[in-house]
Structure 1
Amino acid sequence: MEQREVKYSLGSISYIEPRTFGEPGQRTFNLVIEAGNANCTVWLEKEQLFQLGIYLQEVVSAMSLEDKQRHGVSSEPEWSGEGISIDFKAGQIMLSHDPDSNSFRLVAYEREEEGASEEPASVGFSISIAQAET
């Protein structure tokens, strides 16, 4: 499957936190991301967040201590553009591990709504091993 173009490429992020709101059975989930002057909230289904966590945990736990401690170098710098605030519900998420940069790459595409007049949002960013472990 060919990867679509990403509207906002945030590069290395400085902050990521999964959050949940509401009572059991009525919860909503999101990832809050910061990179430079960019703030992003990606709303997820419970299963999407669960699968992200499982993948990160499996890859990190399979790494040697030496690899975990190796400082990763992202192929992209942190967002240096103007301040932006991105907020959307993810329809598709892709997560991969890049052994060369010793980091993860996450790309999220907004769920496309019928009749929407705007181009769907999308965001991509790098997660360090240390960020993935927390």
Structure 2
Amino acid sequence: MSPTVHGFDWPDRFVIDTVGEPGARTFFLQARAGSDVVSVALEKQQSAVLADKIEEILDQLMAEDGNPYSIPAIAPDALIDHDPLDEPVLEQFRAGAMSLGWDPSTAQIVIEAYPVSEADAEAMESFDPVDLEPEEVLQVRIPVGTARAFAKRTREIIGSGRPTCSLCGEPMDSAVDHVCTLPDGFR
């Protein structure tokens, strides 16, 4: 059976943001076109990797002779979205695997998120592609300026969590005294 595709070819909005307090936040990837809104939960690390890989693709394309796709070096201010997630935030699924691509025919970054499933680990052991077909997928296609702005916002959201201890690198919770666990030999 073919998966249900939540497709957004030119979304009105595409962002990562969080719900909850630092230390207990849930990250969401949210796309909106008109009144159609899809929110997919994902991990903080997935958000960071997605932003990094988008920047990497854009930088590679920008470095091509003459910058044929007019890739902006920095996020255009007019495209940076600082608004919170569209309410209500209803989790469509939790993202497991994600893919990232480039469509030169439309000069768009293509992002796909697939739901995590209990069968993922078992399917990877035997690797039968038929077993790996997801029930649904979020597919979003965004132009290069929007992609640059998306990556910038995502980094800001990731950085807005709990402060990091300068000694041990662990997150510090402001409600509780931080106990720094330094490696042996450091005081």
TM-score (norm 1): 0.69
Identify which of 144, 149, 152 aligns with 1:129. Answer: 144
Identify which of 93, 101, 119 aligns with 1:96. Answer: 101
Query: Percent sequence identity over matched residues?
Result: 27
The one-letter code matched in structure 2 to 1:121 is E
Residues of 2 paired with 1:16 and 1:51: CA distance? 16
Q: Corresponding residue for 1:112?
A: 117
Bigger proportion of residues as helix: 2
Residues of 2 paired with 1:69 and 1:37: CA distance? 29
CA offsets 1:66-118 (integer angstroms, 9 cap, x no match): 52269xxxxxxxxxxxxxx872211111111122321011111112257xxxx
Residues of 1 paired with 2:26 and 2:118: CA distance? 19
Name stretches of at least 5 consecutive residues in structure 1 with no aligned partner: 71-84
C-alpha contact 2:10 2:141 (8 A) present in aligned 1 = yes
SS state at 1:49 partner = helix
Identify which of 44, 69, 90 aligns with 1:67. Answer: 69
Larger radius of gyration: 2
Using a 3 Å threshold, how does the CA distance of structure 1 residues 97 and 41 change in structure 2: closer, same or farther? same
Q: Are residue 7 (structure 1) and residue 5 (structure 2) matched?
A: yes
Using a 3 Å threshold, how does the CA distance of structure 1 residues 121 and 94 change in structure 2: closer, same or farther? same
What aligned pairs does 1:25-44 form with structure 2 within 5 A after superposition? 25-44=23-42
C-alpha contact 1:39 1:86 (8 A) present in aligned 2 = no
Number of residue pairs matched by the alignment:
113
| 4+ residue segments displaced more than 4 Å | none
Residues of 2 paired with 1:10 and 1:19: CA distance? 18
Using a 3 Å threshold, how does the CA distance of structure 1 residues 5 and 120 change in structure 2: closer, same or farther? closer
SS state at 2:146 partner = helix
Residues of 2 paired with 1:57 and 1:69: CA distance? 11
Q: Which moved more, 1:95-104 or 1:39-48?
A: 95-104
Using a 3 Å threshold, how does the CA distance of structure 1 residues 86 and 12 change in structure 2: closer, same or farther? farther
- Deviation of 1:131 (Å): 1.0
- Deviation of 1:124 (Å): 1.1
C-alpha contact 1:9 1:123 (8 A) present in aligned 2 = yes
Name stretches of at least 5 consecutive residues in structure 2 with no aligned partner: 73-89, 120-133, 150-187
C-alpha contact 2:3 2:136 (8 A) present in aligned 1 = no
Q: CA RMSD in A?
A: 2.7
SS state at 1:67 partner = coil
- Deviation of 1:10 (Å): 2.8
Bigger proportion of residues as strand: 1
